[in-house]
Structure 1
Amino acid sequence: MQYTHLIPGSAPRQYCRAAPSLQVVSIRLAEIQGGLEWPLPVYGTVAARDHVDHNRNLLFARNRSECQILNEEDSFLTLTGPSRAIVSEESVVLEIQLKVRGRTKSQDMPLMNGVCSYYSRREGPICFRNCFCTVELSLEGLQRTVQATILGVRVKEEGSWPKAFGGRVACSVTGPDASPQEIELLDSRYTAMPMTSQGYLVLSRNVVSVDYRGSLNFVLEAYSDSGNKVAQKNESFKPKFSNISKQTCKLTGGIELEITVAWSSLVSEKWDISVQGCVLL
């Protein structure tokens, strides 16, 4: 959110431009072999490095004690990043280090270790393959983007979201370069909705790149304790170079949600950060 604080229309031109970025839509364990069987307890990291600071921008990060159980029906990693938009004016390095947890730490086994580079003109998913598995990264290169940080999805009235109900929050991006792929921000269809005491839904991921010529579209769903969808609402935001947008929507059954999004143009060079009085180390 480097430039969120800038007053719209008064910021220097170099801080108000839409830049190319890489959207990571999903990461899944596409297939397993070599004697591995479902379900698999997986932990490790998946990260991206761009030219802005060359630091790891974590997409997935879990230690051994909090591994994710993947099964054949749902083999997608729950993404927690990126923490900022992945700038793709130059090549982006993608790194993956995943392990399968064994009964003891000495019995843990490497699942996937790999590095590759993404170039903005490359199309289609990136696959990492070895003798044990195939990991597929679904990616999208967008040419004129700003960063959207979802600051909060809040249930406005305490108790209006039934305790037994689960839910799902996803978003998609429209625009000349964007495809209508859904990016999952929270999937709690079969469990109670994770929520803070102030009514904020606990999103697993909250940063996406948005085509400045398009829109950011949310899908909000509520599920009964039996797993049936009982309510759905779509809500759209028009992107900005800076500032904050806030909108309220109502789902069936009187569930009222408030969505808050912070907008920022992208940082192209580390120098842009240091001249604003904030240096990434």
Structure 2
Amino acid sequence: MQDRSLMLTGPTRGVVVDVHPTYIEVDLKFKGTTESEDMDLSYLVVASSPGGPSYRAEASKRSTLELTYVRMYDSVEAAISVKLKKDGSWPGCRGLFTASTASLEDMEILLLAFKGDRLPVNGKGRIEFSRRVVSVELRGKLIFSAKALQGSDEKGVRRVRKTFTPKRAGKSKENIKIGSCEMEVTVTWSLLPSCKFDYDNSL
């Protein structure tokens, strides 16, 4: 088997922790044409506690899994949607859309990476993100970033960043432009229940 690196985008929503320790289980497989042809890739169970590490590397027979996670308190969910307002040529041969929080600005969450000079949009003109929901501290800031890249390195980068202030509910909108592509960024805010009691009372 050749050495390969894979980056997973899940889980797409934050994991609500109401007891300590909380166990995070990761079970990865190569999918075959039938279930009997599935191949185990990696299996990992991590106990997450307030004073524990946020990074761990675990080796198995076929792979090494690197798991990174961050604990957030009093956080909200931000569902990010971007609509193309004016179609145009993407100023580069690659594109990168990410999100981060002001407190962890260097830990960018990948929303979409694509190649080519056209944005991947659906029939309604919305960009088809690989991931669109992130968690943000209610008292923090959400940073949305769009980058146009010219080559394999990051030379000739054109980048736009927008900062959003979290809300308990509602929407926030901002317009951005890269080259001749004009887009509208919409963030829909919702509370992230802090314990099972909140789930039960929301039904």
TM-score by shorter chain over 0.5: yes
Deviation at 1:99, TM superposition (A): 2.1
User: 1:243: which partner in 2?
Assistant: 170
SS in 2 for 1:183: strand
| Equivalent residues of 1:97, 1:113 under 8 A apart | yes
User: 2:29: which partner in 1?
Assistant: 99
| Equivalent residues of 2:84, 2:183 under 8 A apart | yes
Q: Equivalents in 1 of 2:89, 2:18: separation in Å?
A: 43
Matched, 1:173 2:138: no
Q: Equivalents in 1 of 2:105, 2:180: separation in Å?
A: 32
| CA distance 1:129–1:258, shift in 2 (3 Å) | same
| CA distance 1:191–1:116, shift in 2 (3 Å) | farther
| Equivalent residues of 1:166, 1:192 under 8 A apart | no
| Equivalent residues of 1:189, 1:223 under 8 A apart | no
User: 1:129: which partner in 2?
Assistant: 59
Q: Equivalents in 2 of 1:189, 1:229: separation in Å?
A: 15
| Equivalent residues of 2:94, 2:116 under 8 A apart | yes
| CA distance 1:165–1:180, shift in 2 (3 Å) | closer
How does the TM-score come out when normalised to structure 1? 0.62
Deviation at 1:194, TM superposition (A): 2.0
| CA distance 1:193–1:229, shift in 2 (3 Å) | farther
| CA distance 1:235–1:112, shift in 2 (3 Å) | same
Matched, 1:119 2:49: yes
Specify the code of the residue in structure 1 equivalent to 2:88.
Answer: S
| CA distance 1:165–1:154, shift in 2 (3 Å) | farther
Pick the aligned partner of 1:155 from 63, 84, 90: 84
Gapped runs of 5+ residues in structure 2? Answer: none
User: 2:143: which partner in 1?
Assistant: 217
Q: Equivalents in 1 of 2:148, 2:78: separation in Å?
A: 24
Deviation at 1:254, TM superposition (A): 2.5
| Equivalent residues of 2:96, 2:113 under 8 A apart | yes
Identity of aligned residues (%): 29
| CA distance 1:145–1:271, shift in 2 (3 Å) | closer
| Equivalent residues of 1:81, 1:205 under 8 A apart | no
SS in 2 for 1:181: strand
Gapped runs of 5+ residues in structure 1? Answer: 1-35, 39-70
Number of matched residues? 200
Specify the code of the residue in structure 2 equivalent to 1:149.
Answer: A
Deviation at 1:105, TM superposition (A): 6.3
Q: Which runs of 4+ in 1 moved over 3 A?
A: 100-108, 161-166, 189-193, 226-230, 273-276
Pick the aligned partner of 1:207 from 119, 128, 133: 133
